[in-house]
Structure 1
């Protein structure tokens, strides 16, 4: 079986689990892209992302571009000659990036797409009292979270669940789904499906915009 070369892109702990699962499953991660170190705390000491902290323990090149449109960064990405880019909880990629790899760029999203497109799917599933949510792998396209679906896995939301432990459940389930998706692509055993097939009406779609301070206030 041909093992694809993968560039992995992610920043928080949610992405670390997927990166670990891909590595433990024998995938060839040729580079990791994460956010630049940022000042944090009273002393404003530079803090590394969770993905970088994990990457420090493995011998894989790490890139931390300030701008995703930087020509030097784009040329670095091309030099890895990756078959596919994998994105988990990272920034929105410009088309010049996600069009580079021959097998495309895939994303893991913490909802059952097309519902809960956006930055805070876990929080909105809790806010709206959903009983079922899940994770979805899909190809990245121009509009955020709208690309063709590769696979998905449902996760039950229990009465005791909050955003924190639901995050952890989806993180683990998502890591396994992502690895399954990569294996299917390697084996040419996957068919992507347009999200339009799951949409009855655009008006009924539930969205997951970034949480505002007003929404976070407790009445």
Structure 2
């Protein structure tokens, strides 16, 4: 069975590698166009492109997915199945092309947490369980019929980064299972239920990342770890942005203002919340490198 793989970041590389190691015929890889990055604005290749080139796979990088030249190139590959992992929304002319359909791997237990940032939002919302789902694409995003899913625990100290790495491995294994089932026709399609309250996972913008210290300890803690290491929670400290990568929860005596922060100027910096303190442990000050809190405090005048 000939397969075209579509993806861009590291999360997708694990799936592409797993499919190739399982012996599937990857006839083409579609990924994002190279983009300028860094101070020198040198062109940067996606993680998927780097892997594809290293493994001798054909790479397509369309700027527009409806470009007639790209559509013809895609048709010429004669793929029976398209596999999508962490890529753009596809137009119908693309996802309807292969005879066996187009499948997607999503980083949540659908129908919950449809959208661009499911890994972040499950932690921010304090969930204790999540997973991955494979499904057939259709017009409305993340709504197609489910093929398989697999669950995993969210530990109390998981960050978006650690959960990303767990789901990356679980997802790659589930994808191989899914493609094998499609190849032999041994699978069922289960429509996603719409009869209960759904939680969404929209794209995260900068304003959402600012910490609201008037929230409870748990809410603030979930917010920080759900945005770590990217796009990163932040607060304004001495009129500059202070990114917070990791922190710890502490209880406090009642009556302390939620606007207060405490520090000894050497080893700790903690901000008061509605019912406790959040003790920062791993930060990045505007214009500086990322550092542990004691190193940060040594360079500050408080």
TM-score band by shorter chain is over 0.9
Query: Does residue 88 of structure 1 match 2:85?
Result: yes
Map of 1:200 onto structure 2: 195
Q: Flag the structure with larger Rg.
A: 2
Q: Distance in 1 between matches of 2:126 and 2:141?
A: 24
Map of 2:96 onto structure 1: 99
Deviations along 1:66-112, whole A, 9 cap, x unmatched? 00000010010000100100000000000000010000000000000
TM-score normalised over the length of structure 1: 0.96
Query: Does residue 174 of structure 1 match 2:171?
Result: yes
Q: What pairs with 1:18-57 in structure 2 (closer than 5 Å)?
A: 18-57=15-54
Following TM superposition, where does structure 1 have runs of at least 4 consecutive aligned residues deviating by more than 3 angstroms? none
Deviations along 1:103-159, whole A, 9 cap, x unmatched? 000000000000000000000000000000000000000000000000000011001
Q: What pairs with 1:1-219 in structure 2 (closer than 5 Å)?
A: 4-196=1-193, 199-201=194-196, 204-219=197-212
Secondary structure of the 1:211 match is: coil
Q: Distance in 2 between matches of 1:129 and 1:74?
A: 42
Superposed CA RMSD in Å reads: 0.7
| Structure 1: gaps of 5 or more residues | none
Q: Distance in 1 between matches of 2:41 and 2:56?
A: 28
Which structure has more RCO (C-alpha within 8 Å, separation ≥ 6)?
1
**Alignment size in residue pairs:** 212
How far off its partner does 1:187 sit?
1.5
Q: Distance in 1 between matches of 2:121 and 2:115?
A: 10
- Compare the two structures and name the one with the higher helix fraction: 1
Q: Distance in 1 between matches of 2:111 and 2:204?
A: 19
> Mean Cα displacement is larger for which, 126-135 or 206-215?
206-215
- Compare the two structures and name the one with the higher strand fraction: 2
How far off its partner does 1:213 sit?
1.4
TM-score normalised over the length of structure 2: 0.69
| Structure 2: gaps of 5 or more residues | 213-302
Deviations along 1:180-206, whole A, 9 cap, x unmatched? 00001111110010003xx333xx100
Secondary structure of the 2:186 match is: coil
Q: Distance in 1 between matches of 2:68 and 2:140?
A: 23
